Amino acid sequence: MVKRARRLREHLHDLLAATASGHRVRQPDLDAVSAAIQAAHAARELVKSRSDGLVNYRWRSHRRFEIPLHVCALAIESLLIDEDRKTIRKCGAADCDVYYRHEQGAAPAMVQHDGVRKS
């Protein structure tokens, strides 16, 4: 599971790096991220809501150990689809390989290629 999470992180990093440098995004990176997102959606099912809504999502009971990876894939989907690309930035230091989402007035959340999260 850890290897799959690292590979997903590396594919995200490569997508962000290609975009930031003006290079074309590699299809294998898109395919890998897409597969992870599709697996995450397939791991959920609709159930009758206990609140005001009609229905809610629930994780399927089998392979629950994969839920953290699925949550990451869905967060990546949201980042790639919903986020304005201008808010995704790379650290300006020459020896830094960190990408982060910049919001006005907020401390940035950073994603580093070696897996270290900094804030």
> Cα separation of 46 and 115, whole Å?
33
Check whether 113 has a pLDDT greater than 60. Answer: no
pLDDT band (50, 70, 90) for residue 106 = low
Rounded average pLDDT over 95-118: 67
Higher pLDDT, 100 or 71: 71
Full-model pTM: 0.78
Q: What is the mean pLDDT of the chain?
A: 86
Give the whole-number percent of the chain exceeding pLDDT 70: 87
DSSP string, 2-21: HHHHHHHHHHHHHHHHHHHH
6 contact partners, CB below 8 Å, separation of at least 6: 115
- The burial of 73, by beta-carbon neighbours within 10 Å (0-12 exposed, 13-18 middle, 19 or more buried), is given as buried
> Cα separation of 72 and 113, whole Å?
15
Higher pLDDT, 12 or 86: 12
Q: How large is the angle between the packed helices 2-21 and 27-42, nearest 10 degrees?
A: 130
**Could you report the per-residue pLDDT of 41-95, keeping only the tens digit for each?**
999 999 998 888 899 988 987 778 899 999 999 999 999 998 888 888 888 898 9
